[in-house]
Structure 1
């Protein structure tokens, strides 16, 4: 699996970009999208690249180019966006077992399992929501 992005800001911006694209008819140029989201185009294009690779949006290059959704907003789950962005859910030190605090192996394993379980809960919750749900 690719390295996760540690800033959940990427996930939030990806959701907002998808909402704008869902509300837009036809192709939406990255400059227009960045303007609507009050974001820098360079930052936004990094996010859009992840969404293209995940097959959630398509890009058309060139003067008349832009971005558009590949499928209906009701078919794009928030877990797909989350996975596309490879978001690191928790801050680096959250339930860290690499600290200098001496835990016995069973406690270290329990902390690792809890963190993984929490990630599963988040993904299961995000699977229940779509981009269309955010637009209501």
Structure 2
């Protein structure tokens, strides 16, 4: 999915936005969320769009509009958030081999295999944690 990003910064801000929503009663405007997170509203809304597409949050338009959780924090896994934000396995460029002359094909394959294995560890851990685990 080319419209997603692989930035860990986006993932981190998405988690923080979900925590704000979990601690907020009712609909929370993006401007209020951005202020609490010390972020710009336009940047935050890009992230919120991915969470809406993943059906983790709902957007309410209009004068009293904003965002709210579609599920309870206990039912939102951190993997769902990760999946909503990523475009490709693990952060882009991590363990990518730029020089084909410097490494043998078996070393290149080993580095790619390690990258894939590391993402497997990350995914397994994120599937075991929920948004509720991050709340007080």
Q: Is the TM-score greater than 0.5?
A: yes
CA RMSD of aligned residues (A): 1.7
* Aligned position for 1:31: 31
* Aligned position for 1:125: 125
Contact 2:51 2:84 in 1 (8 A): yes
* Aligned position for 2:65: 65
Q: Are 1:54 and 2:54 an aligned pair?
A: yes
Q: Secondary structure at the match of 1:24?
A: coil
Contact 1:95 1:111 in 2 (8 A): yes
Contact 2:6 2:87 in 1 (8 A): yes
Alpha-carbon distance change, 4 to 116 in structure 1, aligned in 2, over 3 angstroms: farther
Structure 1 segments of 4+ aligned residues over 4 angstroms from their partners = none
User: Which digits, 9 at most, give the CA deviation of each residue in 1:54-112, with x for residues without a partner?
Assistant: 110000111111100000001101011011110664462x3222325422222211111
Contact 1:7 1:87 in 2 (8 A): no
TM-score for both structures, normalised by structure 1: 0.91
The gaps in structure 2 that reach 5 residues or longer are none
Q: How many residues align?
A: 135
TM-score for both structures, normalised by structure 2: 0.91
- Give 1:3 deviation, angstroms: 6.0
Alpha-carbon distance change, 87 to 78 in structure 1, aligned in 2, over 3 angstroms: farther
User: Which digits, 9 at most, give the CA deviation of each residue in 1:7-41, with x for residues without a partner?
Assistant: 31111110000000001111001111111111100
